[in-house]
Amino acid sequence: MAESLTSRPTLAAADAQQANAHIDADTNTGISNTKLGMWLFLASECLLFGGLITTYLLYKHPLEGPTPHEIFDIPFTSTSSFVLLMSSLTMVLAVSAIERGEHQRMRVWIGATAVLGATFIAGQIYEFTVFVREGLGFTTSRFSSAFYTLTGFHGIHVTIGIIMLVSLVLLSLRGKIPEHRAETVEIVGLYWHFVDVVWVVIFAVVYLIPS
Amino acid sequence: MTVTSHDNVPTTVLDGAVKDYSRDKVYVLTALFLGVVTLVEIATYAFPDFPVWADELVVPVLMILMAVKFFTIVYVFMHLKFDKPILTKLFYMGLVLAVLVYIAMLSTFRIWYHGHHG
């Protein structure tokens, strides 16, 4: 396909003309099926995490064992939350870089996102280890079961996200993510931001709101 | 001529096509804003007697701050602000359904009741 650079709609041109800054896909909705599928998946994930958060709210008053505010280390968790929050920035900068055709920069940002995500997971493993040492096992109380299930599920989501990020870097190094397939990076980014958004809710509801 | 995602456009043709327009500055400012909101959240724990969120005010204040962070990330970082409206509707469909279902569930279990839970 021979197409001149000037005839390609840029983000700037698209923004100037309409709210939609993305180039239309060849589908009825103008959105690629992959992206639509990811958004549908994320909508369904709202229900999954909604269920887990609701269960935690119902069971957060333990009948036995340590209470949440006896064991939570808020300064530590705040730092972890900040790390995850900043990983959303590096992720969106990676998407921006690939849209500009800057492959090396994209890999750097994605690598930074993966490192920040891994730091968050390391913090969560450390936190769980400390809690277990202080006598809060998975089956210690209804609170502990609900807490570990909720935060553990989130941790698994972050881990899957890290695997996807590493895969993106490897694919990029093999030259399999040219600019016209930047949407692949954007879709992984959507998943990563959603994981961050879920933590925003967990951090406030589980850690900060007093019993 | 419209470019679709299925067109096999050579990388060299697209290279640098959007270089002159970047939202990076918006993203960095958004992250700074989110960082500040997070600091305010942490301050509710560090300074619980501050008048703005003292006593029972802390829960609504935290819920508002959480909502601000949530929608900022969804709109700016997840591109809902720039993307097709159908994606916003799709996401809200799941979100609203989840909120309604679980408010109903919490109400069934009398979570709003301040008496003794047996």
Closest chain B residue to the Cα of A19, Cα to Cα? B82
Containing structural domain, residue B77: 22-82
Chain A residue whose CA is closest to B67: A201
Domain ranges of chain A: 43-57+67-208
For residue range A20-68, list pLDDT tens digits in order: 345 677 788 888 999 999 999 999 999 999 999 999 999 988 888 888 8
In this complex, which of B13, B62, B86 lies closest to A208 when CB atoms are compared?
B62
User: Is A69 in CB contact (< 8 Å) with chain B?
Assistant: no
pLDDT reported for residue A22:
56
Helix, strand, coil share (%) of chain B residues, nearest 5: 65, 0, 35
Contacts of B97 in chain A (CB under 8 A): 46-47
CB distance from A29 to chain B under 8 Å? yes
Distance of alpha carbon B77 from alpha carbon A185, whole angstroms: 13
Same domain for B42 and B73, yes or no, is: yes
Percent share of chain A, pLDDT over 70: 89
**Element holding A66 (H helix, E strand):** none
Residues in B touching A193 (Cβ below 8 Å): 73-74, 77-78
- Asked if the C-beta of A61 comes within 8 angstroms of chain B's C-beta atoms, the answer is yes
CB contact under 8 A, A20 and B82: yes
Residues B70, B92, single domain; the answer is no
Q: Which residues contact A70 (CB under 8 A, 6 or more apart)?
A: none
A108 inside 8 A of chain B by CB: no
Across the range A181-207, mean pLDDT stands at 95
- Helix A142-173, helix A103-133: angle, nearest 10: 160
**Lowest-pLDDT choice from A42-46, A162-166, A198-202:** A42-46
Yes or no, beta carbons of A101 and B19 under 8 Å apart? yes
Q: What is the pLDDT of residues B96-108, one digit of tens each?
A: 999 999 999 888 8
**B49 and B96 both lie in a single domain:** no
Same-domain check for residues B70 and B96: no
B7 assigned to some structural domain: no
Burial-class residue B52 by CB neighbours within 10 Å (0-12, 13-18, 19+): exposed
DSSP reduced 3-state for A149:
helix
Homologous superfamily, domain A43-57+67-208: Cytochrome c oxidase, subunit III, four-helix bundle (1.20.120.80)
- Distance, in Å, from the CA atom of A99 to the CA atom of B83, rounded to the nearest integer, reads 15
Mutual angle of helices A182-202 and B58-72, in 10-degree steps? 180
Distance in angstroms (rounded) separating the CA atoms of residues A108 and B49: 43
Q: How far is B9 from chain A (nearest CA, A)?
A: 7
Give how far B51 is from chain A: nearest CA, Å. Answer: 16
Residues of chain B in contact with residue A5, where contact means CB-CB under 8 angstroms, are: 13-14, 17
Q: State whether B73 and B102 are in the same domain.
A: no
What H or E segment, with its residue span, contains residue A22? none
Residue B114 falls inside a structural domain = yes
Same domain, B74 and B37: yes
Statement to judge: residues B76 and B115 lie in one domain: no
DSSP string, B25-56: HHHHHHHHHHHHHHHHHHHHHH-TT-GGG-GG
Tell whether B42 and B67 lie within a shared domain: yes
- Residue A10, token pair as written in the block: 């840029």
∠ Cα A18 A5 A178 (to 5°): 90
In chain B, what residues touch A24 (CB-CB under 8 Å)? 2, 4
Q: Assess whether B44 and B57 both reside in one domain.
A: yes
For A91, the closest chain B residue by CA position comes to B77
Where is A197: in which H helix or E strand?
helix A182-202
Same domain assignment for residues B29 and B43: yes
pLDDT of residue A18 exceeding 50, the answer is no
Question: Which residue from A minimizes the CA distance to B36?
Answer: A82
Q: Are B75 and B95 members of one domain?
A: no
Please name the amino acid found at residue A179. E
CA distance B33 to B40: 11
Asked whether residue B116 falls in the same domain as residue B73, the answer is no
**What is the spatial distance between Cα A34 and Cα A11, in angstroms, rounded to a whole number?**
20
Residue A170 CB: number of other CB atoms within 10 A? 12
Please indicate whether, in this complex, the C-beta atoms of B84 and A29 are within 8 angstroms of each other.
yes
Residue type, A98: I
Give me the number of domains chain B comprises: 2
Contact present, A103 and A172 (Cβ < 8 Å): yes
- Does some domain include residue B64? yes
Structure-model confidence comparison of residues A179 and A6, the more confident one: A179
